[in-house]
């Protein structure tokens, strides 16, 4: 019907389109995220919205396909995302998340996919993704499958950080609902950002360990770990551009160059 339907998103593709794409053994991206508070200015879907958008960018670069995002992720921890103090943070048990990833990879492999890139947007997910991938690798056996798992902020370069934080980078551990995520949302989903509501909160000051029950005073009332005032769409575009270059390069290296 329409040309704009030529999507790289599996959820928008028909099965014959996907079947055609599989012939080239494309990289299939699996965006994983969360439904989780992101301060008073960002929507709670940030952690699955961003990796979906980033995966789409990279998929366009490498001729890949983007599977439907995993919209729920592991439980928010107080130090990194505010913990259980904010209604809306909706976490899965670790095993549930690992099994989601294991099951999806098993099925993608059954379809014929052999290059899978899990692209994550929720810090707390990582080890349960790792475990799900490991369980899948063990289960599918020697098929030639290669899997890559990344969290996008790990690709940020000194150069990008220098431009985004001209007064100094406060560190990734504070970057929840802060400048980086806000800038990326302003770039990819401007209509979902309420920039006027960005809080001017101080940096959170949590210790180097966790406690249960969690302590409310480890995180600002607003839920963002540090103010996002410094964000702008231009900075978002800058970061997205660097991702597009560098994640693409890594994906190409792992799946095509190193074999």
How near is the Cβ of 142 to a copy of itself at its closest, in Å?
Answer: 10
How near is the Cβ of 238 to a copy of itself at its closest, in Å?
Answer: 19
How near is the Cβ of 102 to a copy of itself at its closest, in Å?
Answer: 8
Q: Of 10 and 62, which CB lies nearer to a copy of itself in the complex structure?
A: 10
8 Å CB contact between 50 and 188: yes
How near is the Cβ of 170 to a copy of itself at its closest, in Å?
Answer: 17
How near is the Cβ of 225 to a copy of itself at its closest, in Å?
Answer: 14
Q: Of 56 and 75, which CB lies nearer to a copy of itself in the complex structure?
A: 75
Nearest C-alpha neighbor of 186 from the set 251, 238, 131, 108: 238
**Strand (E) positions, 49-140?**
65-66, 115-120
Q: Of 166 and 177, which CB lies nearer to a copy of itself in the complex structure?
A: 177
Q: Of 8 and 166, which CB lies nearer to a copy of itself in the complex structure?
A: 8
Query: How many Å apart are CA 47 and CA 12, to the nearest integer?
Result: 20
Q: Of 11 and 60, which CB lies nearer to a copy of itself in the complex structure?
A: 11
CA 89 to chain centre: 16
Structure token digits, residue 96: 């549930």
Query: How many Å apart are CA 122 and CA 32, to the nearest integer?
Result: 7
Contacts of 44 (CB under 8 A, 6+ apart): 35, 36, 37, 38, 88, 89
Contacts of 179 (CB under 8 A, 6+ apart): 164, 165, 226, 228, 229, 230, 231, 235
Contacts of 207 (CB under 8 A, 6+ apart): 218
Query: How many Å apart are CA 10 and CA 159, to the nearest integer?
Result: 34
Q: Of 172 and 203, which CB lies nearer to a copy of itself in the complex structure?
A: 172
How near is the Cβ of 120 to a copy of itself at its closest, in Å?
Answer: 10
How near is the Cβ of 205 to a copy of itself at its closest, in Å?
Answer: 14
Q: Of 41 and 235, which CB lies nearer to a copy of itself in the complex structure?
A: 41
């Amino acid at each position: 019907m329409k040309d704009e339907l030529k999507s790289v998103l599996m959820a928008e593709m028909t099965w014959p389109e996907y079947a055609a794409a599989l012939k080239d053994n494309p990289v299939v991206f699996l965006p994983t995220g969360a439904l989780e508070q992101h301060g008073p200015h960002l929507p709670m879907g940030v952690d699955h919205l961003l990796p979906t958008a980033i995966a789409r960018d990279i998929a366009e670069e490498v001729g890949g396909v983007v599977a439907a995002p995993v919209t729920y992720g592991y439980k928010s921890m107080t130090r990194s995302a505010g913990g259980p103090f904010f209604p809306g943070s909706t976490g899965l048990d670790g095993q549930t998340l690992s099994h989601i990833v294991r099951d999806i990879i098993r099925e993608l492999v059954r379809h014929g996919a052999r290059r899978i890139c899990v692209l994550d947007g929720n810090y707390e997910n990582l080890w349960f993704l790792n475990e799900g991938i490991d369980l899948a690798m063990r289960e599918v056996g020697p098929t030639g499958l290669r899997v890559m798992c990344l969290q996008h902020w790990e690709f940020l370069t000194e150069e990008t950080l220098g431009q985004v934080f001209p007064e100094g980078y406060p560190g990734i551990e504070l970057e929840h609902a802060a400048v980086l995520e806000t800038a990326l949302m302003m770039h990819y989903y401007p209509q979902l950002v309420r920039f006027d509501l960005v809080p001017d909160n101080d940096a959170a000051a949590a210790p180097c360990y966790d406690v249960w029950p969690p302590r409310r005073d480890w995180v600002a009332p607003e839920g963002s770990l540090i103010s996002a005032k410094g964000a702008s769409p231009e900075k978002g575009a800058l970061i997205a551009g660097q991702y597009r270059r560098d994640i693409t390069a890594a994906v190409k290296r792992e799946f095509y160059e190193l074999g």
